[in-house]
Amino acid sequence: MSQKIRVTVWNEFRHEKTHQEVADVYPDGIHGQIAAFLGENPDIETRTATLDEPEHGLTDEVLANTDVLIWWGHMAHREVSDEIVDKVQRRILNGMGLIVLHSGHFSKIFRRMMGTNCSLKWREAGERERIWVVDPGHPIAKGLPESFVVPHCEMYGEFFDIPKPDALVFLSWFQGGEVFRSGVAYHRGKGKVFYFRPGHETFPIFYQPEIKQVITNAVRWAAPVCGAYTDLSTAPMVSAPESFTVSD
């Protein structure tokens, strides 16, 4: 990994083009806002990629130079090429981090990495969400209070069809009464995956300081760790590291 964490922020970038209320909140796109606040950190450099670019902006060169990929998708999950999903999965298994936000729970890449439906309940009523830190020792919870409020959001409710996470970092409560596992962390091969629930496109959630802190912490947690086993995509036959004799 390079000295700085190289982050690629991927976004469908469809709502911002077709819904004025979304463009008013995110004039540079959701990807632009996330890349901007992450880029304020001296240890992080950012680039963006969107669905309608060639290869969805995720060329071999881009992926090879990405330490952490952030994914926001909603209305066009099916338009993502399976070939691109295959390439992203290989990079994750070999060490690239993946952070999936909000409605990205139904993205091809998140469902591929989870191996489940990743289905849930939802309601768009602009209600209040309180996010509780339930693993205060986890690196993604660094610098956060015991809980914080998102004033207006889209509700996600259980059952969330995901595998049991390696760590449950955040638990949400909604004004309508539901709860939701809103911050879950996994290891996949050499890579790390974090799903974070907040981020509906019509609300200015990605401007909120606590949300920016969570995503920044997640980038640092998900960054690759240099070490052994540089390529997990093959299953080679190897010679024994020590000599031995097999007895009859």
Q: In what order do the strands lie in the sheet with 167-174?
A: 44-50, 5-11, 68-72, 97-101, 191-196, 179-188, 167-174, 121-133, 147-157
Residue whose entry in the numeric block shows the structure tokens 């070490």: 227
Label the pairing between strands 44-50 and 167-174. unpaired
Three-state secondary structure call for residue 216: helix
CA distances from 192 to 11, 93, 127, 219, 223 (A): 20, 8, 31, 10, 8
Which helix (H) or strand (E) covers residue 171, if one does?
Answer: strand 167-174
pLDDT of residue 2: 55
The stretches in the chain having pLDDT less than 50 are 1
Sign for the CA dihedral angle at 158, 160, 164, 169 comes to: negative
Handedness of CA 110, 220, 225, 137 (dihedral sign): negative
Contact predicate 194/167, CB 8 Å: no
**pLDDT for 116:** 98
What does the pLDDT read at residue 230? 73
φ, ψ dihedrals at 8, nearest 5° = -110, 120
**Alpha-carbon separation of residue 57 from 1, 6, 43, 192 (angstroms):** 21, 15, 23, 22
Residue 1's pLDDT is 47
* Amino acid 70: pLDDT: 99
CA geometry: angle 200, 43, 3, nearest 5 deg: 130
Position 189 scores a pLDDT of 95
Q: Which fold has domain 5-116+182-222?
A: Rossmann fold (3.40.50)
Domains of the chain, residue spans:
5-116+182-222
